[in-house]
Chain A
Amino acid sequence: MAAEAALNRHHVSAILVTHDGQTWLPETVASLASQTRAIDFIVAVDTGSIDASLKLLNSARIPIINAERECGFGQAVQLGFDSLAPRSADCTEWIWLIHDDSAPAPTALEFLIEAIQERPQVAMVGPKLLGWHDRTHLLEVGISIAGNGARWTGLEPYEYDQGQHDGIHDVLSVSTAGALIRRDIFEEIGGFDKNLALFRDDVDFGWRARVAGHSVIAATSAVVFHAQASATERRSVDVKGAFLQRPLLLDRRNAAYVLLANSTWWMIPWLSLQLLGSAMARSIGYLLAKLPGYAGDEILAVATLLIKPGEIFNARKDRKAKRFVSSRVVSTYIPPRWSQLRISSSRFFEAIRKRLLPEESQSSSTLLESNEDEDLLVPTKGSNWIKVLRKPEIAGFMILGLITLVSSRSRLGTLIGGALPASPGGSRDLWRSYFEAWHQVGMGSSHASPIWLAILAIFASLLFGKAWLLVTLLFLTAPLLMMWSMLVLLKKFTGNIWISIPASFIYALSPVAIASINSGRLATLVVLVIAPLIPLMLVNWKAIERHTWRRIFGLCLIGAVLYSFTLVAFVILLGLVISGLIGDYQNYSMQKNKLLFLERLYKRLTLLIAPLLLTAPYSFEALANPIKLLSEPGLSLAGGLPNVVILGNPGGDGALPWWLLSPLLLILITALFSSTKAKTIALYGIGFLSAALLASSLSTSTHGDSAPSRVWVGSFLVGATISSVVTGVIILDRLRSVLVSSNIHFRHILAATLLLVTGVYAVASVGWSISVGANSPVHSGGSTVIPAFLSAEKDTKTLVLREVNNLNSKTIQYYISRGKEVTLGEPDVAPSQNAQISAQAQALIDGSGISSSKTFADFGIKYVFAKAPFDANVIRTIDGLGGFTRASATSAGVVWRVGGVTGRVILVGDDGARKLLEAGEVGARATVEHPGRILLTESFNRSWQILQEGYRLERVKSDLGLPMFIAAQSGEISLIFDGTIRRAWISFELIAWVFLIILAAPAGRRKREIAERELA
């Protein structure tokens, strides 16, 4: 009785606000009617519903106040509030706010009143909000607002209610759905802010109540089921001021308003930045999810607020008048930044985990099947590692890892050698190489840097900028990655892991894989890892229309990564697209389905061309010089002859010897006559092999090597190897049952031969890899070519002569060094041979180069360095030529100083006198003391400019083809290389990548598109 009396001391007036809520209203009304603590008074405020809401209210005999359709929630509540009878002094009066999409549990009001019995300081009490459809889904137990404006509940997404948050909690605010507010305090504070028509009015009210010295609590014993219809876009938002009727925009705008209106002054700049930053970040996220509308909402929300700062000032003024305690009292209810980050990152990784590792539905055994006694009798099975190791997958990877470790014993450190140049100091150097418009390589070049530099730089950044570590890890883990990717592919063809694991193992030890690692072929390694995944994504090559555009764009991204490393991928794809289009046309000729033909055409061309655009301008330069299409990153290193290539071995330094025959060719030929799917795949394999053979007959002079080198066909052979492995697996998978059920015939002999050859190859290749193969061209080492004193002089050109072993003979080669060794990316942009320097280098060697020193000086070459060991006769010859003065002769080699005044920027007077000017790395500032010609000893390029007193000096090409500027007067000059074009290309690349990533990314769903059951 006492409790009942206590309940009766309170007078509760329910205000039900409706707006097109016929879906939920019946249950809402019913729930209000069935409260264990009866409502003392109820009034409904309808904001212009156009559905059956009014009819429903009328039939429930609830008094209705009609309001405009644009009327906000706060205004509607105020209308209802104004209609209440005058306040009585006998009891404490409360208003209970009910949304038309919320249904209080029968005991909700009773528990709410119970919670405030002993808490006279409470101005507002809210229930525990649960989902409308999933009534175990915990929506809110009090709310707050994060510094970035996010609505903060402190709950996990889709958190299951099992009483873990039960109790009475002090909170910043509670949702207005089911909130019980003391009438006098509501009056005192001034109700809901009129500027908050919808959304965040609850947080704002709670905040204001707090600073007015009152308390806000959430009582979880009271339960309200809430459909969150407006927030989840189940109905239109028609409130006044809701720009474009977009709920997200209104929510974000109001969030920013609440923060800026209620926070202390000194927090406002920081909050503004945070709001802007988080709006930008969320916009990008929405763009990636292809929800440009939401992205626009984020930006517009902040913008609409900032263009009307008067609203904020007025709101702050109003709050200041009613503030009783400092704003800082709410700080304990504002979530700390780290918890926002933690939850955001946790959500992000959870999303990735779900995508990568989807939870498999586990078959649950029924209780009836379990035998409780059995649990007692059978010993508990702990983590049995031996059993784990016996799993073929684990054992296969471990054995391969062990073999890789042993065969890589000379590759544990900074890698160099073969086609692989030295790694630069850090990812910053990689970025610099990628971004720079002018490359200080040889006589300098403006070739576009390949995008693989940027890709490496991104991954190197993850390793604290250690580019060398990335390269080492890549070469060390490449066999494991290859085995993994092949295993993923093979699982689509066989369920027998005893076939797929050894086959993947063989792939990782294929001739092309071994040769790529040993000879430092970065691109082929990437192709070896990525290529097996492509058939998985492009299952229907013939019926390409079955693939969605999103998948096509995803494949374009993968294609772009491959194009970035090697444009051989483009050549291969070109061949496939042409053959595909021929098939499409034949199909069109028969079926006359133009739409289908066009769709296939568009998709195939997109696959071919989009990656070209993503890798521009590097790819465009290659198209202009098609021989570059066959090149791979790094130093030019010859591949093998056709007689080696036909066996699947790319040849060249570091490759398996020819006599170590792989079963590739045998399997492909066998599969050609198979009656299974293997035949089709073998046809592709034969195609790849034929292309490899034809390419191996070509020689190219690229990447800073003026002598032609046989084309490396590793990337072509990757296709042939994959085809061979897959066909082998398909044949073996099916063959066993055939062999068992038939008498001995040729198939038995063929199968035995295949297995024998494969087995012998596997054993022999492993043996070779861990013995002879371990001394591969790629090795770890930190030796240098250029003596330290030559490196010390800034940007000094040195002609480096070196004897290089070439096909059992020694040849003399040279290049112009800028005081350092060649690093990743530089061979790709190295300029072609300069004819004059070439002629003088030849004359230097054969002793006829009386004018060599003069020419070298004209090209800014200050030193000639013969790297030891070097032919003593040639050294004597150079000694005998005029213009070269020995600077040193050490164990590193002999250095001569080139006679005459030379450097990077030379001022030549009218009398021919030369004077060196100050020269930076690319740009420079110097003072010209007299009129003359300014000779820049870099390759000629139109982007070289010299400015003097704001004017560009006239640029001409010197007799030697170098840029020369005419300085008509003395004064300060600025030498610049105008990199506008490079910057434009980088911007284009960035836009193109972002655009394609957005197109390829899974599309986000608008809230209205999400099923209600998923939401609540």
Chain B
Amino acid sequence: MKRSISALLALVLSFTLATLLSQTTGDSIYSESFPAVVCPPALSGLNSQISVASTKVQFQTLENRSTKTIPFRSLRYTVVKNSLVVSANGVTPVFWQSRSGSWAGGTTCSGPISSQWFVGGSSDVTTRGKLIVVNSGLSEAIVDIQAFSENGKQPLVSINLKAKSYSELSLDSFATGDKALTIHVVPRSGRINAFMIDELGAGLRALGGDYVNPVATASKTVVIPAVPNQLPKKGSKAGSPHTLRILTTSDVDSNFTLELMSSDGNFVPVGFNSQRILAGVVTELTLAPKISTGSFAVRIKSDEPIVAAISSSVTVNGRKDFVWSTSAPALVPMAIAITGLSPLMLFAADSVAVKIEVTFINGKKSLVSIKGSDVASWRVPNNVRSISILKSSPNTYAGALIASNNGYGYLPISPGSLLTRVEIPHSNIRVLNP
């Protein structure tokens, strides 16, 4: 009996020891980093500035093949030429570009992505727009560009880009003569970013321009959180019209319903309820809401994945300009550098509750809470260098409208580069086992 009890105790002891000493296995080790973001190149005739969160943020020009980077030494850096690769460390820089007396527009500098939809631009005679494809990688890249227009899907264009280079492609080359463009950029290989400038002109007369901000994927619910709505001047009957450009990316037609969200309330404008659009055909619909607010948001729900944007005509100092308001992803904690810009932030959600940390140029910080329903707006003070979204209500979308002397611009509030969590790989011969 004594031996039996001893054996039993030994078993219990072994089990206890084994459980306590059991080494944790299978836990992977990760390396976390923000990929360097790429800003559009400074094209000739255009003024370009980059807003960064710190003077110590490092960058290098695209053509620089070494790994050496230098600090900006300024919170708003004027880009003279080429594209910049910025080690932004999680604070998304904003790129602001303008043609003096013609237009202005902004976009966020972003890390490489695998798919970009540009809903905007045209290929007709008025276009002076460009699609800029940047390869910030050290290897050659191949990029497929698929254009859609009101006449349907266009032939696929594939381009090769040398390491650390960019290419400017005229928008009129994608669907010559067509008015409504939507372009899908799909890198086959390489570290690719694309940017689209939609610039219009008739002869010597500039008709305005803007950056068309990309969206990564098509989805069944699209929210465009900030659409500028210039109210008619006193005595005028109607304000500036808006044009909704929409494309279903699936192979079948889809039906969508557009809901307009403004401080005047939410409603579905006439003709936007269960509107049918053809697959692969870019459809443009005029949107002329009779609302009293200077901005609004739209939420589009479709039975098939779609991409959409709204072009709004604006007048700046008596000159015509237009703004492309594109869809934005749901708000996530992030930071964006807006030195020198004083955007009007618009938040769209059924119930808006966003907590923002504002960092001023002098380094001071303050917290801002934004609450509301459907749409809420907040004007960022002038002397702010960056804002950080600390917390947000679910399914909240945000956009920024920026006004300048040269024109209006729009920015979707989304991180240019996400924290990339890469598992440190380990060697295992198992990978050679089918």
Q: Which residues from chain A sit less than 8 Å from chain B, CB to CB?
A: 416-417, 421-422, 441-442, 635-636, 638, 641-643, 645-646, 669, 672-673, 679, 682-683, 686-687, 689-691, 693-694, 696-699, 703-710, 781-786, 800-802, 804, 806-807, 809, 811-815, 817, 820-822, 826-827, 830, 833, 837-838, 841-842, 845-848, 850, 867, 872-877, 879-886, 889, 894
A879 touches B432 (CB 8 A): no
Q: Which B1-57 residues have C-beta < 8 A from chain A?
A: 1, 3-4, 7-8, 10-11, 13-15, 17-19, 21-23, 25-26, 28, 31, 33, 35
Nearest-CB residue, chain A, relative to B22: A697
| A814 in contact with B431 (CB, 8 Å) | yes
In-complex Cβ contact of A638 among B11, B14, B26 (8 A): B26
* Contact (Cβ within 8 A) B28 A814: no
**Are A417 and B433 in contact (CB-based, < 8 A)?**
yes
Determine the distance from Cα of A343 to Cα of B427 in the docked complex, in whole angstroms: 58
**24 examples of A-B residue contacts, CB within 8 angstroms:** A422-B433, A422-B434, A635-B429, A683-B3, A686-B7, A693-B17, A694-B18, A697-B19, A704-B427, A704-B429, A704-B430, A705-B426, A708-B23, A806-B26, A807-B26, A842-B424, A842-B425, A845-B422, A845-B424, A847-B35, A876-B191, A879-B187, A880-B139, A886-B140
Q: A874 to B422, Cβ gap below 8 A?
A: yes
The A interface is mostly helix, strand or loop, or mixed, namely mixed
Instruction: Please state if A694 and B190 are interface contacts (CB–CB under 8 Å).
Output: no
Contact status of A847 and B33, CB under 8 A, knowing A417-B433, A686-B7: yes
Q: B7–A683 contact, CB under 8 A?
A: yes
Quick one: which of A686, A784, A786, A821 has the most chain B CB within 10 A?
A686
**In the bound complex, what is the Cα–Cα distance between A880 and B163 (angstroms)?**
8
Cβ A709 vs Cβ B8 within 8 A:
no
B141 neighbours in A (Cβ, 8 Å): 879
Pairwise interchain contact B425-A812, C-beta atoms closer than 8 A: yes
Question: Digit string of B165-186 for contact with A (CB within 8 Å is 1, else 0)?
Answer: 0000000000000000000000
Question: When the two chains form the complex, which single residue of B112, B425, B427 contacts A845, counting CB atoms closer than 8 Å?
Answer: B425
Cβ of A882 to closest chain B Cβ, rounded Å: 3
B88 nearest CB across to chain A (Å): 15
Report Cα–Cα, A782/B434, bound state, in Å: 8
- B residues in contact with A416, CB < 8 Å: 433-434
Is B423 touching A812 in the complex (CB atoms < 8 A)? yes
Q: Sorted from nearest, which 4 A-B pairs have the closest CB atoms? A: A882-B138, A880-B191, A704-B429, A880-B137
How many angstroms from the CA of A682 to the CA of B11 in the assembled complex? 12
Shortest CB–CB separation between residue B16 and chain A, in angstroms? 9
Pair B420/A880 contact, Cβ less than 8 Å: no
**B18 CB contacts on chain A under 8 angstroms:** 642, 645, 693-694, 696-697
B429 touches A705 (CB 8 A): yes
Chain B residue contacts of A872, Cβ below 8 A: 114
Q: Given A442, A705, A880, which contacts B112 in the complex, CB threshold below 8 Å? A: A880
Tell me the minimal C-beta distance from B191 to chain A in angstroms: 3
User: In the complex where A441-B429, A690-B14, A814-B427 touch, is A881 in contact with B8 (Cβ < 8 A)?
Assistant: no
The contact string, 1 if C-beta is below 8 Å from chain A, for chain B 294-330, is 0000000000000000000000000000000000000
Given A643-B19, A698-B23, A709-B25, does the pair A635, B139 have CB atoms closer than 8 Å?
Answer: no
Residue B428 CB within 8 A of the other chain = yes
Complex CA gap A782/B35 in Å reads: 40
Q: Is B188 an interface residue, CB under 8 A from the partner?
A: yes
List the interface of chain B (C-beta within 8 A of A).
1, 3-4, 7-8, 10-11, 13-15, 17-19, 21-23, 25-26, 28, 31, 33, 35, 65, 67, 112, 114, 136-142, 163, 187-192, 420, 422-434
Taken together as a complex, chains A and B put the C-alpha atoms of A820 and B434 apart, in Å, by: 10
A874, B255: Cα distance in complex, Å: 36
Residue from the list A646, A706, A820, A846 in contact with B426, Cβ < 8 A? A706
> Of B138, B163, B430, which one neighbours A635 at CB under 8 angstroms?
B430
Establish whether residues A814 and B425, one from each chain, have CB atoms under 8 Å apart when the complex forms: yes
Give me 4 other A-B pairs in contact (C-beta within 8 A), A814-B428, A876-B187 excluded: A636-B430, A641-B22, A800-B432, A846-B424
Q: Is the interface of B mostly helix, strand, loop or mixed?
A: mixed
Decide yes or no: A672 and B28 within 8 Å by CB, A697-B23, A879-B189 being known contacts: no
Q: List residues of chain B with CB within 8 A of the CB of A841.
A: 425, 427
Contact indicator A815/B7 (Cβ below 8 Å): no
How many Å lie between the Cα of A642 and that of B11 in the bound state? 11
Q: Which residues of B contact A880 (CB under 8 A)?
A: 112, 136-139, 190-191
Q: Which residues of A contact B140 (CB under 8 A)?
A: 885-886
Indicate if the CB atoms of B427 and A833 lie closer than 8 Å.
Answer: yes
Name B191's contact: one of A673, A679, A877 (CB within 8 Å).
A877
* Given A708-B25, A833-B426, A845-B424, also A822-B190 (CB < 8 A): no
Q: Enumerate chain B residues within 8 angstroms of A682, measured Cβ to Cβ.
A: 7
* Chain B residues whose CB sits within 8 angstroms of the CB of A784 once the complex forms: 434
* In the complex, residue of chain A having the shortest beta-carbon distance to the beta carbon of B35: A847
> Is the Cβ of B22 less than 8 Å from the Cβ of A696?
yes
In the docked arrangement, what's the CA distance between A809 and B30, Å?
13
Could you tell me if A813 and B17 are in contact, using CB atoms closer than 8 angstroms? no
A498 to B49, CA, bound (A): 90
Chain A residue, CB-CB nearest to B136: A880
Closest-CB distance, B19 to chain A (whole angstroms)? 5
Chain B CB count within 10 A is highest, among A638, A841, A886, for: A886
- A694 and B23 contact, CB distance less than 8 A: no
CB-based contact B138/A881 at 8 Å: yes
Closest to A896 in B: B139
Residue of B nearest to A686 (CB): B7
Nearest CB on A from B42, distance (A): 22
Closest to A520 in B: B433
A812, A873, A881, A889: the one within 8 Å of B137 (CB):
A881
| Chain A residues within 8 Å of B136, by CB | 880
Contact partner, A826, options B3, B425, B429, Cβ 8 Å = B429
Q: CA A807 – CA B191 in complex, angstroms?
A: 31
Query: What residues on A are CB-neighbors of B65 within 8 Å?
Result: 882
**B431 in contact with A867 (CB, 8 Å):** yes
Given contacts A815-B427, A833-B426, A845-B425, contact A693 B14 (CB under 8 A): yes
With beta carbons under 8 angstroms apart, the residue of A441, A708, A800 that contacts B431 is: A800
Which of B17, B67, B424, B433 has its CB near the most chain A CB atoms (within 10 A)? B433
Cβ of A673 and Cβ of B67 under 8 Å apart? no
| Chain A contacts for B424, CB-based, 8 A | 842, 845-846
B residues less than 8 Å from A830 (CB atoms): 429
Q: Which A residues touch B138, using CB under 8 A?
A: 850, 880-883
What's the Cα separation between A645 and B22 when bound, in Å? 12
CB distance from A977 to the nearest CB of B (A): 21
Q: What's the minimum C-beta distance from B38 to chain A, rounded to whole angstroms?
A: 10
Q: Please give the distance in Å from B44's CB to the nearest CB on chain A.
A: 27
Which residues of the other chain, B, contact A673 by a CB distance below 8 angstroms? 1, 4
Which residues does chain B contribute within 8 Å of A672, judged by CB atoms? Answer: 4, 7-8
Given contacts A442-B429, A705-B427, A881-B138, contact A842 B31 (CB under 8 A): yes
Alpha-carbon separation in the docked complex, A165 to B19 (Å): 78
Find out whether the CB atom of B191 lies under 8 angstroms from the CB atom of A815.
no
Least Cβ–Cβ distance between B360 and chain A, in angstroms: 33
B305 to chain A, nearest CB (A): 18
How far is the CB of B115 from the nearest CB of chain A, in Å? Answer: 9
When the two chains form their complex, are residues B427 and A838 in contact, meaning their CB atoms are under 8 A apart?
Answer: yes
**CB-contact partner of B189 in A704, A882, A889, under 8 A:** A889
A144 to B282, CA, bound (A): 104
CB–CB A699/B425 < 8 A: no
Q: How far is the CB of B123 from chain A (nearest CB, A)?
A: 29
* B31 and A827 contact, CB distance less than 8 A: no
A807 to B24, CA, bound (A): 12
| With A689-B11, A813-B425, A881-B138 as contacts: A876 and B114 at CB distance below 8 Å | yes
Give Cα A707–Cα B430 distance, bound, in whole angstroms.
Answer: 12
CA distance A683 to B426 in the complex (A): 42
Chain B proximity of A804: nearest CB distance (Å): 7
Interface centre among B1, B11, B429 (most CB of A within 10 A): B429
Distance from A641 Cβ to chain B, minimum over Cβ atoms (Å): 7
Which residues does chain B contribute within 8 Å of A881, judged by CB atoms?
Answer: 137-139
Nearest opposing residue in chain A for B112, CB measure: A876
- Contact of A813 with B433 at beta-carbon distance under 8 Å, contacts A638-B25, A686-B10, A694-B18 already known: no
